[in-house]
Structure formats: C-alpha cells, structure tokens
Structure 1
C-alpha cells in the first residue's frame, strides 16, 4: 500500500512539474498581433508608414519588458489596397495564426469587408481607416469588437463646418470620391450642413483612380459657390487641386483629413498652396501651445519617427502607434482572453495619443472628441496652424 501510494505521489509531483513547466513556457510565448496594411496599390502611401510605425511601437514595448513579461509579435499582411484580400488575411490571422488582436486594415472599404469576420470570431480589432461605418450599428449593433484609432469623419466635418461658420461661408460646392471614405464623408457633410447654415449648391463625385476632374469642377464653378470641399484620399484630391488651379478657380478649396500627409503636397505641387483642411495635430505639433496635453507625446513621436525612417513625420503612422499602445495597455492581465481585452479597451480613459486623447466606452469605440482636430493651411510647401 505504501509503495502504491508513493508511486501515486511521485506521479502527481511529476504531473505538477510538467504542468508548471508548460505554464511557465506559455508565459514566455509571444502575444501575436495580426497587422494588415495596404503596402502596395493605391493606398500604399497610407499603409506603408502605418506598418513602419506599428513595428516601431512594438519594438518600444518589447524593449520595456513586453506585456506581463511576454513580448508582442506582429504578423504582417499586405492587403494590396484590395478589400477582398483584406478579408482573406483576416481569416488567416484568426484561424491559422491564432492572433490575440488585429490592427488594420488601411481603407474604409477593406474595413467593412473585415468587420463581419472579426465580429463573428470575437477578435478585438483596431482599424486604421478614415470612415465611420466600421464602428457604427448594423447587424452587430454598437457593442462590437471593432475599434478605430483615426479620428471620425463626422468629427472632421464638425471641425470644418465650425471654421466655415466663423468665416460666414455658407454656399458650398462638394466634390467627393466614390469610394467608401468619400461616400461616408459626403453623407456626414450633407447631414450636418443645415446645423451650420450651409447649403451645397452643387455636388459631384469622382472615381478614386480618375486622372482628370475638370468636368466636375466646371459644373461646380458654374453654380457659384463661395468655396469647394473635396473629400477623398490621395491621389484623387491632388488631381482636384491641380485641375482647380488650371481652371483659375479663385474661391477657397478645402480638403479632408484624408490628405493630411506630405504626400499630398508632393502630388499637388504648387497647386496645394493655400489649401485648408481639418487634421490631427501631428503636422503642426511644434506650433501647439505648451498647455496642449498632446504636445509632449507628439514631439516624442515625431522625433522617433524622423530618426527611424529619415523622412517627414506621418500622421497616418500615428494611427498604428495609438492602436499598438492602447492594445498593449489593455492586454495587461488578460492572459490573452479576448473578451477581457475588449472590456479593458472600453474602460480606457484619457489615453494621450498621436491622434488625440482617447476615452472609450462600450458605446464609443473611437474615443476622440472634436479637440483632436485643428485647422491647417498649406503655405510655401509647409503646414501652418490656422488660429
């Protein structure tokens, strides 16, 4: 009997050692984060800096000890600016790579393709897309696993309309891209215009790959607006800017936050001069008052970005920077549990990031207020803060 009992105790001790060793090994395993961006195709100028910054942020977190001693591991996917490709990558991340969370994709259209997939799988996903529909209603309601780090299009419209109201500009022409981002912006512009006493006297659209918008601008010009709003992402808005110059359009041209990068100035050339737009604060971080809560964070981000990549700082990259750091904060103590991770994100308040100061809730999956935006003007090839 003693011999049998001894064998049982030894076996139990061995099992505990094995289990403890497995648990210790598991605690050292990387936490996998899927990261999909448009690294090729029309949206590559947005996706490429986003990917670079995601890698930079993960390196910073790992250098500081990771998450409860476990390093983060990014698994990168190139959506090729194709929504269908984004959906395929999302399925791979979930079912093959077994990721704890996902960052990306880059475009609103791709985000809408990915939304249903990550919702059904229950995988918290921080999208780096401009459009609001990815975090709005629909089949899954407001309580979703999808978050978004860029500022809302609706908040950008509010910032722009507030400025226009102050300038007493009420008659506008609208030219928007026929993709998901452009349509989302146009919808908010039309919906919110009456609240600011604004009327659109002409509305036209263009394809994201169109190379000439002269016909649309000619129609808008003939309607006699006080200014024109163009809503889209490059390269289309840069073409609009050039065509407006060629037509001798003397009224102001306003762009959306979708062009807030050095790429727009590069593409539009001297036609960008005088263009105004709402944008996050990174492009003018050195011009902000010292009391601004983002100033120190933005200065540090800009310093690290330019040192690492030897190029002007990108606000688009900030979308990934915020997503990675918010996920890192929320992952602590979850043990990889996706439901805990989602709830932790929803409980974060006052997180000072590149895109703004984030305060989430179960009903609010962007967490940014109108003060995340400032109005800027392009002057002599540089960004100027409009006060």
Structure 2
C-alpha cells in the first residue's frame, strides 16, 4: 500500500467514525429552554411587591431546573417591568409573547395592570397566563369578559371577603363600616363586601373611600365613628393600610380594625408602628406557619419555601416574607406541573392548568375548574392578629 492509498484509507475511516458519532453529538446538545414570561412592577409604587415576586419566580425556576426541568428541558424566565402602570403592563405582555416567544406568562402585580393585559390575552395572544394579582375581575366573567386563558394564584377577593365576614359574625357583630381604596383592588373589595353582607347578617352603616396616595383618612373615619359601626373593614394594599391604622388610633375609634388579605406584611407593622397593635386580617398560612399543626398539608411546602427564601437566597434581608411572597411560587408551579403532563402546546397547556386538582402550594391547596380559574377556598386563609409586633394565629 503506497502513501496515497494509506492516506485515503485513513480519511475514509476517520469520516466513518465521525458520522457514527453525529447522532451522539446531536443527542447531547441541550434542548432549547421553555420560556416563561414574568412581568411585575419592578419600579413605581408597587415595586415593593413586584420586585420580591420576581425574585421568587427566579428562585422557583432555578429549583425546577435543578430537579430536571420539564421532563429534561430547562425553563427560562424572561422578565419585564410593568413600572406599576397598566399601559406598560400591556406593552410588556406583548413583548414577552411576540418577541420573547414565551409559552406562558406569570404576573403582573396590580389588578389594574391585570385588566389591561386580559383582553389581549383572551382576544389575540391565546396563551395561558397565571396572574399574581389580588382582584377578581380578571377571572370573574360576565361584564368583565371571558377568562378562558386567564388564571390567578392569589385568593379571590370574594374568598377573602367571606373569610373576613365569617370572623366578624363569630364576634356577634351586625353593623360594619367599609373603607376602601379607589383603585381596581379597592373597588373589587367594595363590590364583594356589599354583595356578601346580607348573607352573613351584616349591615353596612358607613361606606367611605380614599385614594391610595392619600396621607390622611381622618375625615372618612370621623364619619365612620359617628355611624354606630361595630367594626371597620379597610380594603387596600401597600402603605395606605398603615396610614389608616394610624388614623384609627389617633381618633380613638374604639372598634376593631379589620384589614384585608393584602396587608399581612412586616412592612405594615413597621409603617403603622404602635397603631398596628390589635389589627386583624385574613392571611395566607405563610405568615404563621410555625403555629400550624404538623397535620396541615401545606406546612411542609411552606417550610421548604421559607428555607429557600431565607437560608439559601437570603431574600429576607431586603424583602421580609409577607403574604404576597408565595404567589409566584404557586403561579409557576401551576404552569410547570401542566407542562410536565402535556408540553407547551397552548391549548393543551391551558386545559391542563384548568384541570389542576390537589396541588399543594404556598397559598393553599388548588382545585381548579372551568368556572373557577383560581381554585382556592376560605380554608386556604387564616385570620391573624398583630400582638406585640408579631403575627398571631386566631383560632376558629
């Protein structure tokens, strides 16, 4: 065999060997990640809620990927900032879907943002979104439009209102006053408080409202004080709730202050100071996990969440855990669990989320139906009270 022949043989052998390895190389290439669009208020008035929600979303995606992703395919979080603005929220939703190629969306932060996005999701985008907002309109149907593609992780406003009213009824009270914010969340709260009052034998003797940036609610509270109300229910999120608590104390109202499910937050106690003492409100179990019985199915999940949040990622150093903290965890798991079953085809994914049963999350045990795109009942909430600057579980 001469030199040229020897070179040809070596070339043929090398080529055959390379071709034999090609399938191995192709199989070893990492699959393209599944993209989840996550858009929250990372700036603006609601950033204190939106920023830690984004951090939790990334924490959950990291956890899922470390455990093998979605049947071996990793998730990728594509993030957007709504700037606490409904118009910007819509723009970000479009960007994440049309340019970011997200298979599902998580977010936004406030009810008004969610409503701005909903029509685009339902009429045009047709991909699932699991919202992390408090208000009901996004999944209320009727005059609020269809919600085929829209889900939400936090409890319904109606569920929180029922939990609140059940507690007030247990105190043998019959006359109440309501003080609600003029934003979408506050208006939604007022709607349900008015609608459900007769069912619980309660009479609303005073009804007042305030803007979320108002600094003094004394005029409204003076009217409530003169109304003969036996308790006042305040429905708002953010610092406004603490301002109400301070005004209640300053005016020596002398009746219980019941805040809504958006207020269980160390920030509330910090901002309200001594005025927070005695405040009562519905809360996710996250705030009092150490006071839950070991038999509670959520306890282990919540403890795992807290360990990651505080001991591994140390998010608590800047953003102490509050009742909102688990919403992104639950939202992403609702989507991810469905992806494991059916993949990322939009219609199949939507249907799988809608069929979720028995998912034990941070905020409750989820059981969704075509009529209920939240799936949480009043048993997902507990009533808590601020005592000596701590959250105390009130026994039913």
Q: Normalising by the residue count of structure 2, what TM-score does the alignment of the two structures yield?
A: 0.90
* Structure 1 position 65 matched with structure 2 position 51: no
1:286 equivalent in structure 2: 290
Contact 1:51 1:317 in 2 (8 A): no
Q: Does 1:319 align with 2:327?
A: yes
Aligned partner (choices 70, 78, 81) of residue 81 of structure 2? 78
Query: Using a 3 Å threshold, how does the CA distance of structure 1 residues 54 and 63 change in structure 2: closer, same or farther?
Result: same
Q: For 1:191-215, what per-residue CA distance to the aligned partner results, in whole angstroms no more than 9, with x for missing partners? A: 0000111011111000011111111
**Alignment match, 1:265:** 269
Q: Does the 8 A contact of 2:343 with 2:349 survive in 1?
A: no
Q: 2:386 aligns with which of 372, 378, 386?
A: 378
Aligned pairs, number: 370
Counterparts of 1:165 and 1:88 in 2: how far apart (Å)? 44
Q: Which residue of 2 aligns with 1:160?
A: 164
What displacement does 1:49 show? 1.5
- The residue number in structure 1 matching 2:364 is 356
Q: Using the alignment, how far apart are the partners of 1:362 and 1:175 within structure 2? A: 33
Counterpart CA distance in 2 for 1:38 and 1:112 is: 15
Partner of 1:105: 108
Give 1 or 2 for the bigger CA radius of gyration: 2
CA RMSD of the aligned region, Å? 1.9
Distance change in 2, residues 1:101/1:200 (3 Å): same
Specify the alignment match of 1:180 in structure 2: 184
Matching of residues 303-342 of structure 1 within 5 Å: 303-307=307-311, 308=313, 309-311=315-317, 312-342=320-350
Deviation at 1:313, TM superposition (A): 2.1
Contact 1:45-1:263 within 8 A present in 2 as well:
no
CA distance in structure 1 between the aligned counterparts of 2:33 and 2:202, rounded to whole angstroms = 52
Q: Does the 8 Å CA contact 1:143/1:363 hold for their aligned counterparts?
A: no
* Partners of 2:165 and 2:157 in 1: CA distance: 12
| 1:42 counterpart residue number | 45
TM-score by length of 1: 0.92
Residue segments in structure 2 that go unaligned for 5+ positions in a row: 1-19
Q: Secondary structure at the match of 1:332?
A: helix
**What is the distance in 2 between the residues matched to 1:44 and 1:152?**
22
Give the drift of 1:315: 2.5
Match of 1:191 in 2: 195
Choose the corresponding residue for 1:29, options 32, 47, 55.
Answer: 32
Give the secondary structure class of the aligned counterpart of 2:254: coil
Q: Decide which of 371, 374, 380 is 1:366's aligned counterpart.
A: 374
Any stretches of 5+ residues in structure 1 without a counterpart? Answer: 1-16
Q: Determine helix, strand or coil for the equivalent of 1:384.
A: strand
The aligned residue for residue 94 of structure 2 is: 91
- 8 Å CA contact 2:249–2:275 kept in 1: the answer is yes
* Deviations, residues 315-371 of structure 1 (Å, cap 9, x unaligned): 312000001112111112534211111111112100000110001122210011110
Partner residue, 2:6:
none
1:9-28 correspondence to structure 2 within 5 Å:
28=31
Deviations 1:170-206 (A, max 9, x none): 1111100000000001100000000111011111000
1:153 Cα deviation after fit: 0.7
Could you tell me which residue of structure 2 aligns to residue 201 of structure 1?
A: 205
Give me the whole-angstrom Cα distance separating, in 1, the residues matched to 2:98 and 2:343: 19
Q: Give the Cα separation in 1 of the matches to 2:196 and 2:125.
A: 35
